[in-house]
Structures are given as C-alpha cells and as structure tokens.
Amino acid sequence: MSRLDNLVRTHPFASWRMAAWLVALLLGLAIGWANYARLDEVAIASAEVVPQGQVKVIQHLEGGILSKIHVQEGQKVKIGDPLAQLDLGATGLDRNQILIQIDGLTLRRTRLSAEAAGMKPVFPRNIATRHPDLTDSERKSFQSRERQLASALAVYKTQTHQRQLELKELIARRNSIRDNLKLARERLVMSTDLLQKKLISGMEHLTLKSEVQTLEGQLAQLVPAMPKMRAAIREVAERSQQVTLSFRRTAAEELGETELALARNRELLIRAADQVKRTLVKSPINGIVKTCGFTPLAVWWAPATPSWKSCRRGKV
C-alpha cells in the first residue's frame, strides 16, 4: 500500500463537503434559471414594515382648530404626553373670560351685600390686586348709590325739621292763647260784677266778652292743627324709612341675581376646565410618532379624522 493510500485512509474527506457541493450545484441551477426564465408580470412598489397591532391611530371626536403641535415625527412619547392643542373656536368656552366674570361678580356681590346691610364694602384683596379697575368701579358705584340715598334722605330730613318747627310754633301759639284766654276770662268775670254794680259801661263789658270769644276761636283752630302736624311728621319719617328699605330691598334683589350669575359662571368654569382637557390631545401609548397629518397651525381638524399615528416602542 502506498503512502498516499495510507494518508487517505487515515484522514478521510469530511461528510459536509458533499453537502457543500450539493448546495453549490443548487445555487448554480437557480442562477441559471433566473437568467433565462421569463416572468409574466413584474411589480415594484415602496413599502414599510408595520408591526401587527402595534400602530395606534389618533383621532379627536369633537374636532377644532389646531392651535399648537407639541411633537414631531419620529419623536418618542409616553402615555399622557401632549401631542397637540385644539381651539374649538366660537363654540368653545373661554376659561380666562369666565374667571374675569366670576371676579367681577364677586366684587359686585361684596358691594351689594354692604348696601343691603348698610355697611361699607370690604373687597377681597386677591381680586382687588388682580383687577384694580373693576374694584375701583364697584367702589365708585357704591359711593354713588350711597350719595343718592343720602340725598333722598336729606330731603325728608329737611321736611321733618320744617314740620317740627311748625309744630313748635303751634304749641307756642296755643300756650300763649291759653294764657291770654285765662286772663280774658278773669277780666270778663270781674267786668260782670262791675257791670251789675254799674261801675263800668256795657260797651266795655261787651269788648271783654268779644275778646274771650276771639281767643276761644283761635284756640279751637289750633287744637286740631297740632295732631295733623304730628301726623305729617310721622308721614315724612315713614317715607324716609321707605326710601331706605327700598334701597336695601333693591340691593338684596340684585344680590340674589348676582348669586345666580355666580353659580352659572362657576358651572361654566367647570365645563371650560373639562373642555381644556378634551381639547388637549395626549398620547395613549408609549411609542414613537410615525406620522403627523398636520404641519401648519390654524387648520381645522375635522371630528373623528385620523391625523396621528404612533408606534409602540420596543414592540417592533
């Protein structure tokens, strides 16, 4: 046996070499078929790899004007991250405007409460700091209404003072007539005795008698005039009181209306806060922004229109 035979017997060919030759033969056949075979139809198209069930299409049920975009295509986002902010336009609620109205109504309530209670208003310091103009306006309104009330009351006060002076004059006249009547009656009694004794003439006696009758007539006129004057004084006082009560009642009625307006605006504020949450589009998943349907701002996002696509991160 030759040396070559010994080497072959000692180091035989590996079995994989046969398999390699077989694969090479198949590849050669495939290349030959690809070069010479004819295909009935060939189509070329662009495509992308989409992980099944991992792409999230984002829509908005109400729609609105796109006012701000917070992300870009390819940006990583987490659950709850803001994507865009919408503006509902004329149908939306302006939260800042509602807050201003609530502050204004609160200042008005403070003023009306003071008017209804007959006290000076103490406006909330925080609102007075935020809205000095509104606070100054309510303060001036309070002062103006108080001046109107004081002016009306001053008229009745003057009338009351005049009636009281007239009453004092009536009382003084009554007292004076009573005193004069008392003296006149005494002189008449004395004159009667003197007339019987024929010490005075009948004419003098008649003069004294006429004086007594005149004084009695004057007193008879003054007596009913004084109750009437007292009634007039009470009437003026009642009118003055009615003016004050009417002022307080009007303030109380306006206060009730203001409370209702405050309640309505607080309800609107809750709705506006909820609207702000609804108009802020947030990411529902942890992922990457694939496509954004909007690039310019101030465009209309129609309700239920697919405008964003996000792909779950780590799932591709």
Render 87-132 in DSSP notation, one character per residue.
E-GGGS--HHHHHHHHHHHHHHHHHHHHHHHTS-----HHHHHH-H
The strand pairing partners of 179, in sequence order, are none
CB of 294 closer than 8 Å to CB of 59: no
Residue 50 lies in a domain: no
Beta-carbon contacts of residue 289 (< 8 Å; ≥ 6 apart): 71, 72, 73, 74, 75, 77, 83, 308, 309, 310
Give yes or no: residues 302 and 192 share one domain. Answer: no
Within 10 A of 117 (CB to CB), how many other CB atoms are there? 13
Give yes or no: residues 196 and 101 share one domain. Answer: yes
Give yes or no: residues 133 and 197 share one domain. Answer: yes
Give yes or no: residues 212 and 241 share one domain. Answer: yes
Give yes or no: residues 103 and 76 share one domain. Answer: no
The tokens describing 131, both together, are 């809205």
Its domain, for residue 242, covers 95-276
Residue 5 lies in a domain: no
The tokens describing 24, both together, are 């090479």
SS3 category, 307 = coil
Residue 30 lies in a domain: no
Number of structural domains in the chain? 2
| CATH at residue 152 | 1.10.287
What's residue 5's pLDDT? Answer: 59
Give yes or no: residues 208 and 245 share one domain. Answer: yes
Give yes or no: residues 76 and 103 share one domain. Answer: no
Residue 46 lies in a domain: no
Give yes or no: residues 133 and 223 share one domain. Answer: yes
- What 8-state DSSP symbol labels residue 286? S
Give yes or no: residues 139 and 213 share one domain. Answer: yes
Category of 72 on φ-ψ map: left (φ > 0), alpha (ψ -120 to 50) or beta? beta
| CATH at residue 68 | 2.40.50.100
Q: What is the pLDDT along the chain (316 residues), one digit of tens a residue?
A: 555 556 556 655 555 566 667 777 777 777 766 666 665 555 555 545 555 556 666 666 566 666 677 777 777 777 877 777 776 654 456 788 899 999 999 999 999 999 999 999 999 999 999 999 999 999 999 999 999 999 999 999 999 999 999 989 988 888 888 888 888 888 888 888 877 877 778 888 888 888 889 888 888 888 888 888 999 999 999 999 999 999 999 999 999 999 999 999 999 888 877 776 666 777 777 777 766 665 555 455 555 555 555 555 543 3
Residue 4 lies in a domain: no
CA angle 191, 194, 196 (to 5 degrees): 110
Give yes or no: residues 203 and 118 share one domain. Answer: yes
Q: For residue range 151-198, list pLDDT tens digits in order.
A: 999 999 999 999 999 989 988 888 888 888 888 888 888 888 877 877
Residue 152 lies in a domain: yes
Give yes or no: residues 288 and 193 share one domain. Answer: no
What's residue 298's pLDDT? Answer: 46
Query: Of the candidates 59, 66, 86, which has an alpha carbon nearest to the alpha carbon of residue 294?
Result: 66
